[in-house]
Amino acid sequence: MQLHTIWFVIITIFWVGFFVLEGFDFGVGMLHTIVGKTPIERRVALNTIGPFWDGNEVWLVVAGAGTFAAFPGWYATMFSALYLALLLTLAALMARGVAFEYKGKSENPRWQRTWTWCTTIGSLLIPLLLGVGLGDLPVGLPINQNHDFTGNFFDLLTPYGVWTGLTLVGLCLLHGATFLKLKTTDQVRERARGVARPLGLAAIVLVIGHVIWTRVVAGGADVPGPVQILAVIAVIFAARLAISEEHDGAAFSASVIAIAATVGSIFIDLYPNVMVSSTNAVYNLTVNNSASGSYSLKVMTVAAVIFFPLVLLYQGWSLHVFRARVKTPSTQVDSPAAQPAAPQS
């Protein structure tokens, strides 16, 4: 296997890791006002992701940095084409992060509502916008012979890209519900289990639709590939297990597989392209014509071999250390001043 292909696989792993790890963060952010009816319960929901959310976002940074270093041509065209969408994504990331820290700084109801909306909307926009961007890669964007994007913002709103964004939002919601069911107790856990039924049904429909549409976009075999079949089976299992009284860990594991397989299938069908030109297939960006030089890829590979296992060990250790459920206090006080501290990393 050539180095540029290895780095395409590595970048795929970064994107899969980001949506698997940050996906439940987004789901919790979107669901915290639904599973939490009081300020204390909403804070309990957010505290489940407190030790993880900022570390999980690093996977997005590494995915972007890895693309820049390994495939500068891909990075230049993609970030030029998706500039406004990526700017909105960064704004949503910042608003969401600031909301976690600032919400508890004042008891003013308007202040509280503002940061609550920032958390909810930011958690929705990020997977939606990134999903649209990832969906645009295989379906194609107007790119000329110089690999310059020649379209406008509305060219980014391809039907397949929008469906991909909605699919990832649906999977994040189910992922968040299974995580809350795994990490909370009492009423918060029961509400998470209650919303899992409609969220699970929606996720199943979205994933099946995405698999079918991907086969059309890929223009290959009519039969879905193993990874796409795995995504459908996993989301069905996740939806089924999420509504049971038990099997919290199995439900979360199934949702992990579902979101990983869905994101992974996009890159599998994209290869050997990294961006498709809707103007002319000759102008497609591929792993060959957009990769860095051999020496750069060799140096990056050595660094990845050394540091990537360390990152995985740290990630696994943090999940192990903070594996306990977050319990709702027996006596709930609705005053924001009485709430637990903001989520901390």
Residue 343, pLDDT score: 59
Tens-digit pLDDT profile for residues 216-262: 877 665 678 899 999 999 999 999 999 998 899 999 999 999 999 99
In contact, 167 and 232? CB cutoff 8 Å: no
pLDDT of residue 102: 87
Q: How many CA atoms lie within 13 A of 224 on its CB side?
A: 20
- Asked if pLDDT for residue 286 goes beyond 90, the answer is yes
| pLDDT reading at 181 higher than 50 | yes
Give the model's pLDDT for residue 254.
97
157 φ, ψ (degrees, to nearest 5): -85, 60
Q: Which of 143, 168, 165 is nearest to 16 (CA)?
A: 168
Query: Mean pLDDT in the chain?
Result: 90
- Residue pair 27/64 in contact (Cβ under 8 Å)? The answer is no
Please name the amino acid found at residue 6. I
Q: Tell me what pLDDT residue 255 has.
A: 97
Pick the closest to residue 259 from 53, 17, 82 (CA basis). Answer: 17
Res. 336: pLDDT tops 60: no
Q: Which two tokens stand for residue 306?
A: 């050394």
Compute the distance between CA of residue 328 and CA of residue 163 in angstroms, rounded to an integer. Answer: 37
CA distance 216 to 131: 18
DSSP characters over 212-276: HHHHHHHTS-SSPPHHHHHHHHHHHHHHHHHTSSS-HHHHHHHHHHHHHHHHHHHHHHHTTEEE-
pLDDT at 335: 44
Residue 331's pLDDT is: 57
Percent of the chain residues past pLDDT 90, beyond the cut: 74
Give the residue extent of every domain in the chain: 3-324
**pLDDT value of residue 339:** 45
Residue 153 confidence class, pLDDT cut points 50, 70, 90: confident
> What pLDDT is recorded for position 221?
59
The answer to whether residues 127 and 23 touch, using CB atoms and an 8 Å cutoff, is yes
Would you state the pLDDT for residue 333?
45
Q: Could you read off the pLDDT of 93-128 as tens digits, one per residue?
A: 999 999 988 887 888 889 989 999 999 999 999 999
- Read off the pLDDT band of 285 (50, 70, 90): very high
Q: What is the pLDDT of residues 166-177, one digit of tens each?
A: 999 999 999 999
Whether the CB-CB separation of 48 and 344 falls below 8 Å is answered with no
Q: Which residues pair with 143 in a beta bridge?
A: 149
How would DSSP label each residue in 174-226?
Answer: HHHHHHHHHHB-HHHHHHHHHHHHHHHHHHHHHHHHHHHHHHHHHTS-SSPPH
Q: What is the pLDDT of residues 21-79, one digit of tens each?
A: 999 999 999 999 999 988 899 999 999 998 888 888 889 999 999 999 999 999 999 99
Flag whether pLDDT at 345 surpasses 60.
no
Averaged pLDDT for residues 317-331:
85
